[in-house]
A and B are shown apart, each in its own frame.
Chain A
Amino acid sequence: MYQYNEFDQKIVRQRAAQFGDQVRRRLSGEVTENEFKPLRLQNGLYMQLHAYMLRVAIPYGLLSSAQLRKLAHIARTYDRDYAHFTTRQNIQYNWPKLQDVPKILEELAEVEMHAIQTSGNCIRNITSDPFAGVARDEIEDPRPYCELLRQWSTFHPEFAYLPRKFKFAVTGAEEDRAAIQVHDIGIRLVRGEDGTVGLAFYVGGGLGRTPFVAPCIQPFVPKAHLLTYSEAILRVYNRLGRRDNMYKARIKILVKSMGAEAFAHAVEEEWQYIKDGPLQLREQDIARVKSYFQEPEYPVFQGTAPTVESLMLSKEKPSDPAFSAWVDNNVVGHRKPGYVAVSLSMKRETLPPGDVTDNHLDALADLADRYSMGEAVVTHRQNVVFPNVQVALLPPLWEELTQLGFATPNLQRLTDVIACPGLDFCNLANARSIPVAMRITERFQDLEKLYELGQVTLNISGCINACGHHHVGNLGVLGIDKLGVEHYQLMLGGSSANDASIGKILGKAFTEHEIADAVEKALLCYIGLRTSPQESFLATYRRVGAQPFKDAVYGDH
C-alpha cells in the first residue's frame, strides 16, 4: 500500500500541530465558534447531537493491520469503545472530547492517517472499488490515481472553500462497485481505441434532496491529465457554482442548470489554459505512485494453484452447509491463481450497521495479518474485505469469522443493510434509521428467506441528506418528519452499479411500526412476480413497474 514519504509524514504532523493551535485559540475564546467551524470541519470534526464527532479518512478504503490496531486504540482511549464505518470509506468516532482531538490526530499521524478534509466544503476523501488491485474485471488498479488525487486535493489552496462539499470516486473495473455515477466526480479507467488506458469523467452525480445520475462529460482523458482536467472542473465549479442557497450549491445543480454539454465546454475551455502546466503527470510520476501498489509477493504454489472449486470437492471442505453458503456469497475470484477476496459481513443483530467495537477492530487486525497479508478494505456498504486470502485457508478463516460473527453470508442481500447514524446521533435527522435497520434485519434473519430473495440491497437514511444512500438501494427507506412524528418513505428501483438509477417513491409514508411490514410486502410481491429465482428484485421491478408493488403494499389499507 501507499507509504508516506517524509513529506507526507511532515504534512500530517504539521496539520495536527496546526489544529492543536486552533483548538487552543478556540478554547481561549480568541477564535469564535463561527470562525472555528470551517476549521474544525476541514479536520473532520462535526458538532453532533450530544457531542463532537470525528471523521477519519481511509483513503480508497485501504487499511493495514497496524492502522486497524490504532483505530481500536483510539476507540478505547478516547471514545466509548466503538467506532462507525461510514458509507464513504471513512471511520467515525462519536464521543471524542474537543481537547483530545489534537492528540488523536497525532496518534493517527503515527500510522499515516488523518482526518483532513473529511468534512467541510472541500474535496473529501477519495473512494474506490473495495476489490481494487485484485479484481478480475479490472483494466488497471485505480488506487495510484486515487492517491495522486489525494495528494493534489490535500490542502489545495484554491479549493478549500468551494460552494459545497465535493466527492470523488474512482474505479478501474468493468463492474462499478464504487458508485461513481452518484459522486460529484466519478472517474472510470477505460481502454481507448488504440488500447491505451485513459479516464472517463462523470460529473454532477449525487444523492441528497435532488438526486442525479452523473452524465459522462468526457469519455477519454489521457492519464497524464488526471489532475489538470480535475483542476479545470473544480475551477469552473468554484467560480460558477451557486453560493446563495446551500441546497443548490452542489456541482450537480450547476451541471444540470448549464446542461452537461455547456458545462463540458466550459471545462474544456479552462483546461486548454492549464493542461500543459506543472500538474500534467509524467510517466515517471505515475510510475512512482504505482510502485507503492505493486502486487504483494504471493507465494508460488507447487503444481497447480488450488481453486475454490477444487477446495469444495476436497476433504478439507467443512461439512457444515453454512460454509458453502458463505463461499457462494462472500468469496469472490482474484486476479492471482490460488487466491480469493473475502467479504466480511459487519452487520449483526446486536449492533447498528457500520458500528465496530475496539475488540472487533483488534480482531480484524489480527485476522488480516494471518489471512490477508496484513491488509483490509472498508467498503461503502459498511463491510470489510480481506483482499488477499489463500484458497486453502478459507476453512480456518471461516471458522474464526464465524466465532466473531463476521461470517454471515449476506453480502448484497437484504440484511446487509446500509444505514446512516440517523436520529440517534445526527442533529440533521428526521427519524431514526438504526432501529429500523435492526428491526428489518431481525425479521429477515432467517437465512432461507435471504436465499430466496437473491441479490437485493436495502439502504436507509434518516433524512434527505441521504448519507445512507437510500436513493440507490433497490429498496430505499427515507426518514421524514410528518407533523413531528417520525415517518418513513419507501422507494424502489434504485441502483448504484453500472446501470445506476434513482429509486422512486412508492406512495405515502409509513410509521415506524409499519415500515418493516411494507418492506416485507414489497418483497413478497417480488417473489410472486419474478419469472425465476434468477430474476433479481431490481430486474423484476424494472420489468413490471411500480403498480403491482403499490397494490401489494397499500392494497389492504
Chain B
Amino acid sequence: MEIIRKATPTDTVPRWEVVQEDCVHAEDSQALASSGQVTVTLERWRAEADALKARGQVGLRVLGEVDPGDYADVLPHVDLVCIQFPKFADGRGYSAARLLRERYGFTGTLRALGDVLRDQLNYMARCGFDSFVMAPGKDPRASLSAFEDFSESYQPAADEVLPLWRRASLPGFSLSDFSKVDGNREGAA
C-alpha cells in the first residue's frame, strides 16, 4: 500500500514523500500473522492487550469521534495510531489528533485513514498527522503539492508554530529570512 509520510521526521521543515508500506488493518475476528505491522481496534486491544504487547508491531485504529482520553493508557505501548475519517467532512479527527499530540504527548506515527483527500492534507498535518493513506482512487503523488499551498499560518496547532501576531513582533524578523525554523517555535526566540 502507498502512504504519504513525512520524509525526515526530525527535520524542522517537513518534506513529504510517498512510500510503499505494508500494514494489515485487522478485523477483530481476523487472526494476526506472527509478524508484520498490523493495526487493531480499541476493543481488540482491550481484550488481547497482553498478547498484542508481546507480539509487537501493533498499532491502534480508532474513529476520529473517539475521545483520546479513552485510550491514553494504550499510547505508551504503540507507535502507530490510525485515525479513521468516515467522511472527510467529519472534523472530529482533527481535534483527536491535536489532543494526542498536545495533551497526551503521543510521539509515534499518527496516520489518517479513510476519506482522506488532497485538500484536507495540510490541515491534517497541522493538527499532528504525519502519515496518510489517501482515499481509494486518489493519487498520493499528485497530492503532495497540497503541503505547499500555504507558507504561513496565523494560529498555533500541533506544529507548534507561534501565532503570527507573535512572530511578527519578534526582533529582527522579516519575511525573507523567515522559514519554519528557530524563531517560530515556542520559547526558541
**Residues of chain A at the chain B interface (Cβ within 8 Å):** 5-7, 10-11, 14-15, 17-18, 22, 31, 35, 38-39, 121, 148, 151-163, 227, 235, 238-239, 243, 273, 277-279, 282, 284-285, 288-289
Contacts and interface: CB of A to CB of B under 8 A. Distances in A.
A151 B95 contact: no
B127 interface: yes
Nearest to B115: A35
Q: Is the interface of B mostly helix, strand, loop or mixed?
A: loop
A215 to B, nearest CB: 24
B154 A10 contact: no
Nearest to A35: B117
Given A22-B119, A35-B119, A159 B162 contact: no
B168 A7 contact: yes
Given A278-B156, A279-B156, A285-B166, 20 more contacts: A10-B151, A11-B152, A15-B150, A17-B149, A39-B119, A121-B91, A153-B155, A154-B155, A156-B157, A160-B91, A161-B88, A161-B91, A162-B91, A239-B65, A239-B67, A243-B92, A273-B103, A279-B155, A284-B169, A285-B169
Nearest to B93: A161
A238 B92 contact: yes
A152 B169 contact: no
B89 A151 contact: no
Interface of B: 65, 67, 88-92, 94-96, 98, 103, 117, 119-120, 122-124, 126-127, 149-157, 160, 162-166, 168-169, 175, 186
Nearest to A235: B95
Contacts of A15: 150
Given A10-B175, A35-B117, A238-B95, A278 B162 contact: yes
Contacts of B168: 5, 7, 288
A14 B150 contact: yes
B89 A161 contact: yes
A38 B89 contact: yes
Contacts of B156: 277-279
Contact of A285 (B89, B92, B150, B165): B165
A152 B161 CA distance: 12
B92 A6 contact: no
B152 A278 contact: no
B2 to A, nearest CB: 18
18 contacts: A5-B168, A10-B151, A10-B152, A11-B152, A14-B152, A18-B149, A155-B150, A155-B154, A156-B154, A157-B122, A157-B155, A157-B157, A161-B89, A163-B91, A239-B67, A239-B96, A278-B156, A278-B160
Contacts of A35: 88, 117, 119
Contacts, number: 113
Contacts of B163: 151-152, 278-279, 285
For the complex of A and B, the 6 pairs showing the least CB-CB separation, nearest first, are A161-B91, A157-B126, A157-B123, A151-B154, A18-B149, A158-B94
A161 B157 CA distance: 15
A282 B149 CA distance: 30
Given A155-B154, A238-B95, A278-B186, A161 B166 contact: no
A158 B152 contact: no
Contact of B153 (A155, A235, A285): A155
B90 A161 contact: yes
Contact of A238 (B94, B154, B165): B94
A6 B164 CA distance: 11
Given A162-B91, A243-B90, A278-B156, A14 B151 contact: yes
Contact of B94 (A121, A161, A243, A273): A161
Contacts of B153: 155, 157
A317 to B, nearest CB: 47
A288 B165 CA distance: 8
Given A157-B94, A161-B94, A7 B152 contact: yes
Nearest to A234: B95
Given A157-B122, A161-B94, A151 B155 contact: yes
A162 B89 CA distance: 8
Nearest to A42: B119
Contacts of A235: 95
B157 A239 contact: no
Nearest to B142: A30
Given A121-B89, A157-B94, A11 B154 contact: yes
Contact of B155 (A17, A152, A284): A152
Contacts of B88: 35, 38, 161
Nearest to A281: B165
Given A11-B150, A22-B119, A156 B91 contact: no
